[in-house]
A and B are shown apart, each in its own frame.
Chain A
Amino acid sequence: MSTTEKDIASAVDAGGQHDHHEIPWIRKYVFATDHKMIAKQFMFVSLFFLVVGGALAGMMRFQLGFPGQPMPGAGILPDAMMAPTPNGAIMLPEFYNSLVTMHGTIMIFFAIMPLLVGLFGNLLIPLQIGAEDMAFPRLNMASFWLAVPAGMLMLASFAVEGGAAGAGWTSYAPLSTSGEWTGVYLGQQLWLVSLTILGFSSLIGAVNYITTVINLRAPGMTWFRIPLATWSLFVTAVLILLAIPILAGALIMLLFDQTIGTGFFRPEVGGEPLLWQHLFWFFGHPEVYILILPAMGITSEVLSNRARKPIFGYHSMVLALISIGFLGWIVWGHHMFQSGMNPLLGTSFMISTMAIAVPSAIKTFNWLGTLWKADIHFDVPMLHALSFVSMFIIGGLSGIFMASTPVDIYIHDTYFIVAHLHYVLFGGSLFAIFAGITYWFPKMFGRMMNEPLGKVHFVLTFIFYNLVFFPMHNLGLQGMMRRIYDFTQYDFLQPLQPMNQFITLFAFALITTQLLFVFNFFWSIFKGEKAGNNPWKSNTLEWTVPSPPPHGNFAEMPTVFRGPYEYSSPESDDDFLPQTTPPREGPGPSSGVPEPTPTPEGAEA
């Protein structure tokens, strides 16, 4: 054994133990180091937060649909949130502001992000590259157990004096610098502390993912044979790694402003409020890509599999991912066109923003190309992946309106923005999450999710979702501002009352529909149809192992011979050709050869 190899071995020892002894209950389910268990932990916790975020949205929608009317059943909430009247409890504006803030914060940081990164990152990365586990299993455990207290702090802030943070998920200074402006003191600080802890959790997760992808690929798993889900998670991890520290710095400065009285963002003592926005969006735009890239990866995976056809333009898909990873750093100013930033800068940010629409478009065209002359199976994961594509088209196109600076003057801070971000985050990310959960459910639990129930859930969600969010474009175009407690205060917005009510009713329907998913999820864990190793006849490595995979994943180190999307290849009698199947002609490379020669039909073609 050479020196480096021994180094490697001992370094790995330090990282985690892989003895196959009986693992005590607490190490298996609570302080678990197995990446699959951590993935499930992230899934359960973030699905819980998804429900919380949904409930907050429901309350907000009630107020918008029925402004100033008593909310049924809200009497149980404290008077600081809902003012009691003889007819029932009416929502207070400060509570509405907390709802707006916490809905955004919880959905983005505690639901979508941990579902995409915590769940799918943990589940897929080691399995898809042929690793036993993450490079640092204990760090992985720490990542989860930092996210939990962060979430609890965030929730606890509802219960403290003054209520939860109320300055928007963007927490613009100076509003956020002092309770003097919002009436929220402790809540605003808990918000900052919670996100700082969560940031640290994401950060060590990212270090782990990056190291794992670079170091732990099975023999033959060259960069251009990595499945797109893992590719996208890798680029996402890089974005997290570089963006989160910027947020952390800003959060801490803001916390200092609030607690010890520094003046970074406080103009009354010579501070610079716009600095907060620059820091926040320098993090924030990469963040929105953190929220969409894994969703794109999941979609690519499901689409190619269920269309039984190689992904169209694998290389340009990867290049598009990478170029988003770069371009994402120079467009942050498009959130600040009306902020008072130098208007000349506005123009440069408009141009860079127009440029970043290109890789997104490329990906969309490639998904369409994948469906061309395909053999499309409309299973539940596929339905969700397809709706990702069609909804992402809408969200991407509405982005063009806002990227155009003069048009943005009118629609900035209106419901048009709300529509855009929900088309990319709900229509995009969340549909991809549904696709991913239903697709990899058998791998996680060894059982399939119920198909008819899943279809009902999908159809209702798709319809209600569009009825809720599409008209928000129209509200925005009529001039209705976002983050507004009672739009009927404006005469010119009063005609929008019926539309708002319409949206609210379908929002309730949308929320209720999700019960189907919850039911299907739990029912299928126990009662679902048993799944074999590879129910989707997929090519990638995770489907070569049992469902659920044992501790250590691969009984034998897999060797990879080709790209991940060799569906309907003439080389195979079936319509799929796993990455591990040795090429038909000639002897397969003996195990231990790190880079087997690519087959002529391989994805490198």
Chain B
Amino acid sequence: MARTIAVELASVTKRFGDVTAVDNTSLQLYDGEFFSLLGPSGCGKTTILRMLAGFEYPTSGSITIHGREMGHTPPYKRPVNTVFQSYALFPHMTVEQNVAFGLEMKNAPKAEIKTRVVEALEMVRLGEYGNRRPRQLSGGQQQRVALARALVNQPEVLLLDEPLAALDEKLRKEMQLELKGLQERLGITFLFVTHDQEEALTMSDRIGVMNRGHILQVGNPIEIYERPTSRFVADFIGETNFVSGTVCELHGNIAAINTAAGQTLRGLAQQGVQVGQPVTISIRPEKVFLTPISNGTPPTPPSKHMNAMPVQVERINYIGSDTRIIVRLHDGNTFDVWESNTRSTLDRDEYWQPGEAALLSWPEENALVLTE
């Protein structure tokens, strides 16, 4: 699908002294998409936003917004606006004056400013709060003022740096929906920075996962979760089990791996996996089956396309929607298994008991063979 490119970073590097905050990174954002940058603390997310806003300039590489090279264009001449994590509302101005600020700087006519400010405040459901000072508002309300103050300028791209991080859990969930709804209605490109993976998964059209100044993978939430291309992404997004080994056979996109414990496991291989290569298999805890072994029966896999291994149940943690079972493999490592609590029952005696022997199995396409 040919889509207009709103923002392009081409081989952008940013160094602060010896620290390389962003390392030779390229990225394209499409018009009207909700794109999230996700990564651990210090990986360079804020630095990318600040370079787009114009608060920092790249050490090398180029940034273009709708085809216009930004170079050393100062922030006040860029077609982007920022929602800061600290909100950075002007405390000496009323809510209305805060929202009007950007339009006044563009010397918009007074009457137009007035109507647009009213609209913007209505949009974030703060119509009645125009005459208040920021400090007379709750955290969530301040957040919405910051949003209105940025959006009233109709930026080509809205940059949001962990805007929900300071809110409590419930309010954050509400604001996630509200933000996403706004973005869809306005059709403005959002570049959203977060280190909360659930937030990124629920809100984004696409996600870029970052680590140490690099963007490791870009994809929609399903691709990122179901087909991570690296050990880091598999580990950072959701939870997973890792088993390491060496590739011994390749059949199309299925690779067979010899593990250190002497077992052979199969999994979905990426392009370029070669026989003899050391690899890691990633298996999500909700994508496996745990079946009881009746006394003495030798374990048999349910189908030949299943991987299977005997295990011992070690701990059972009931967490409401799921039960999380930790089992021990024969090589001594532990492995997480999540079972959905699909039956509503109070009787847990029928369920897994610590020390019980079981067969752990999964379809081979549920395991991913990762090379890095």
Q: Do A and B bind each other?
A: no
